[in-house]
Amino acid sequence: MYIARVPNRKSRPAILLRESYREGGKVCTRTIANLTNWAPERVVAMERLVKGEFDDWSGEMTSGEIFGVLLALKQLADQVGITRVLGSAAESKLNLFLILARIAHGGSRLSAVRWAKQHTVADVLGVEGFDEDDLYAALDWLASQQERIERELYQAYVKEQGQPPVLVLYDVTSSYFEGECNELGQYGYNRDGKRGKQQIVIGLLTAEDGEPLAVRVFEGNTADPTTVASQITILKEQFGIAEVVMVGDRGMIKAKGKAALSAEGFRYITALTDAQIRTFLKEGVLQTDLFDTHLCEVEHDDKRLIVRRNETVRVRERRRREDKLAQLQAKIAERNAFVKNSRRASAAAGLATLQRWAKSHKLSAFVTLTLKERAIVCTLDEEAKAQDALLDGCYLLETDVPLTLMDAKTVDARYRDLQKVERNFRTVKTTFLEIRPIFLRKAERTKAHVFVAMLALKITRRFEADLHRTFGSTEDDPAAITPDDALVALGRLTYLYSTDRNGQRHPHLPRPDEQQAKILEAIGLSFPLKPKADKRAV
């Protein structure tokens, strides 16, 4: 039997339940029932029934493993090219699992093994049973393949863009450990504000649009400028780039880095520190009124100095300074009142505490705290305060890119593109991929763990772009679907199991609801899908 839809001129088609039979060696058809007036959902149910989709079904359905999450992320990995460059070896498939699990789950290798039991890893990724030791071995393999994978992904990026990047962005961050046994872990400048914890330093190299190209891990006490040399090696030897402009944050590209870039024919854009700006002001290279203009340029020692003041930042810094002063005055008043009402209270101890507070909040340059009898007195040096506020919102860019190739406005815009790298770091460290905590000891495995996060970042960027095209951004619509929302919605797509009269379970793939269908369509997937092996769509 089957469902036939017969055109009916200007009326709606007739929907008929028919069957075929043979009579005298000839195939004949007869109509069993007219379903034209049935509700559409009943017609669909009948159509699935005659196809045999409900054979041996007892009428009860139970949910099974989640397949929507890995299915979608695997599609994105294919689009980015990660599946292709990893290859088909057993270690490749395990690393693909680690990358996708980093997006959807995070956590340690052991927790990833537990997470895998709730998802269709075998059907979607072709990976059968494994444990955490298998995942550690996969990380060892990935560490040995990192340069090759980065190079092949870079070549794919160049092919997609039509040309090599003319500008690259570079920045570093740090990530701390809870333990003290990692081979790369050292005490250093902690950007997370976690004192007393060992850390690693991570350097991320991206294209102008923020697309990650390469990542390197250094010991936790590595100074930022010393990491530049490794990036030059990546650009020159690994990617074969002959000419490019590297953009680095203030204090990143210093004298040795500039010389190394120049020796390879590369150019740079960086920012100078406040101390360097004040030195230029003292020497007369710059004048304070230059910062009053929106954007201007000065030449010095064959370098271009781009002078800029951000008015929004200037106002914010001024308000922040006044707020801190108001807090200090309130603390002084509270402490003086306490000392006045308590004969045993130590005025000197209170003075020392507030002096430390003023220093930590960068007020000590123009604030002096003293004791007069038993009361704390705050003296404000207005001239010193004006000097402290002189460079509020000001920054100075330095570049050796000729004016004929890039004007001052473009240099400023390219420097501000570093925000894309910072956004990548936020995604990797806190908002989505959660690279911490790092449950590893060996150096190579730690590097591979960070590389897994970078590859996951490439997928996440594609995921965000696809969702943004379809649903918009949360900036425009607070109800827009984010990657987190999409993963929650896809997590409802699970296998459904029916049980026949003999007690045997049969898996089925459900149809996605409207929201799930839109998400899958946004990333290039649509139903019906052909299920694996004996798994049948219901």
| Residues 324 and 397 placed together within one structural domain of the fold | no
Amino acid 487: pLDDT: 93
Q: Is 454 exposed, middle or buried (0-12, 13-18, 19+ CB in 10 A)?
A: buried
Angle, to 10 degrees, between the axis of helix 483-490 and the axis of helix 68-80? 130
Give the count of domains, the chain.
3
Per-residue pLDDT of the chain (538 residues; tens, 9 = 90+): 888 888 887 788 888 888 888 888 888 888 888 888 888 878 887 887 788 766 666 567 788 899 999 999 999 999 999 999 999 888 999 999 999 999 998 888 888 999 999 999 998 998 888 999 999 999 999 999 999 999 999 999 999 999 999 999 998 888 877 666 778 878 877 766 677 778 888 889 999 999 999 999 998 888 888 889 999 999 999 999 988 999 988 878 888 888 899 999 999 999 988 888 889 988 988 888 888 777 888 899 889 999 988 888 889 999 999 999 999 999 999 999 999 888 888 989 999 999 999 999 999 999 999 999 889 999 999 999 999 988 888 889 999 999 988 999 999 999 888 888 888 877 776 655 566 667 778 889 989 999 999 999 999 999 999 999 999 988 888 888 999 999 999 999 998 887 766 677 777 788 888 999 999 999 998 765 554 544 433 3
Q: Are residues 290 and 421 in the same domain?
A: yes
Q: From CA 11, how far away is CA 437, in angstroms rounded?
A: 65
Strand arrangement of the beta sheet that strand 26-34 belongs to: 2-8, 11-23, 26-34
CATH code assigned at 397: 3.90.350.10
Instruction: Find out whether 188 and 201 touch, Cβ atoms under 8 Å.
Output: yes
- Whether residues 320 and 339 fall in one domain: yes
DSSP string for 210-255: --EEEEEEEETT--GGGGHHHHHHIIIIIS--SS-EEEE-TTTS-H
156 inside domain:
no
Report H helices in 162-196.
none
**Which among 85, 64, 106, 61 has a CA at the least distance from the CA of 487?**
106
**Same domain for 372 and 237?**
no
Query: Read out DSSP for 327-381?
Result: HHHHHHHHHHHHHHH-TT--HHHHHHHHHHHHHHTT-TTTEEEEEETTEEEEEE-
| Whether residues 331 and 431 fall in one domain | no
Considering the domain architecture, whether residues 187 and 203 belong to the same structural domain is answered as yes
For 312, counting Cβ atoms within 10 Å of its Cβ (0-12 exposed, 13-18 middle, 19+ buried), the class is: exposed
- Judgement on whether residues 296 and 190 belong to the same structural domain of the protein: yes
Q: What is the structure's pLDDT at 538?
A: 39
Question: What is the CB neighbour count within 10 angstroms for residue 270?
Answer: 23
Spatial separation of the C-alpha atoms in residues 281 and 264, rounded to whole Å: 32
Q: What is the CA radius of gyration of the chain?
A: 32
Contact yes or no for 267/248 (Cβ under 8 A): no
Residue 54, pLDDT score: 66
- Contact between 337 and 344 (Cβ < 8 Å): no
154: Cβ–Cβ under 8 A, 6 or more apart, which residues? Answer: 213, 214, 238, 239
Q: H-helix or E-strand containing 423?
A: helix 418-426
| Axis crossing angle, helix 90-104 with helix 443-471, rounded to the nearest 10 | 60
Whether 62 and 497 have beta carbons less than 8 Å apart is answered as: yes
Question: Are both 338 and 320 inside the same structural domain?
Answer: yes
Q: Tell me the sheet residues that pair with 247.
A: 169, 269
Residue 374 resides in a domain: yes
My answer on whether 381 and 420 are in the same domain is: no
* CA 282 to chain centroid: 42
Euclidean distance between CA atoms 231 and 246, whole angstroms: 9
DSSP-derived 3-state class of residue 376: strand
State whether residue 114 is helix, strand or coil: helix
DSSP label of 166: S
Start-to-end C-alpha separation, the chain: 18
Which residue is listed with tokens 């949360």?
474
Residue 118 lies in a domain: no
Which H or E run includes 66? strand 61-66
User: Residue 128 falls within a domain, yes or no?
Assistant: no
Q: Are residues 241 and 367 in the same domain?
A: no
The domain of 283 spans 164-310+393-441
Give the separation between CA 121 and CA 106, rounded to whole angstroms.
16
Q: With respect to residue 431, please indicate whether it lies within any of the assigned structural domains.
A: yes
Is 488 within the bounds of a domain?
no
In a domain, 60, yes or no: no
- Residues 422, 303 share a domain: yes
User: Is the CB of residue 470 less than 8 Å from the CB of residue 521?
Assistant: yes
The predicted structure's pLDDT at residue 473:
85
Residues 382, 260 share a domain: no
3-class secondary structure, 495: strand
- The two structure tokens encoding residue 140: 């060892």
The CA-based dihedral angle spanning residues 435, 438, 440, 446, taken in that order and rounded to the nearest 10 degrees: 40
In a domain, 202, yes or no: yes
Question: In the structure encoding, which two tokens stand for residue 44, read together?
Answer: 């669909």
* Integer Cα distance of 368 and 362 in angstroms: 12
